[in-house]
Amino acid sequence: MDITIERQDGPDGGRYVAQVDGSGPRAELIYTRPRPGIVSADHTLVPDALGGRGVGSALVKALVSDCLESGERIVPACSFVHVQQRRHPEWAAAFA
């Protein structure tokens, strides 16, 4: 299984879009920037056809990686992102 993730970024927020094996349904993680240096992870949407395959986790991992690189901090407004934060203490530096 090959998960491709694309970041679509704008000045006030954006989304990460994931597709499995280059076709079919897409999953996404939507975020906003409520203030400088903060990224609010607002919603993670994974279609049933992709559920349980690690696609949502891959979206969160991409967000964490980008925020660690940019120095921005994540506020986990989405419950799925909050659960991932708790499961991965090694990501602590990425969260506000």
Domains in the chain: ranges and CATH: 3-94 (3.40.630.30)
Q: Work out the angle between the directed axes of helices 79-87 and 55-70 (0-180°, nearest 10).
A: 80
Q: In this structure, which amino acid lies at residue 47?
A: P
Mean pLDDT in runs of 10 for the chain (96 residues)?
Answer: 94 95 93 97 96 96 98 98 98 97
What's residue 23's pLDDT?
A: 83
The CB density around residue 69, as the number of other CB atoms within 10 Å, is 9
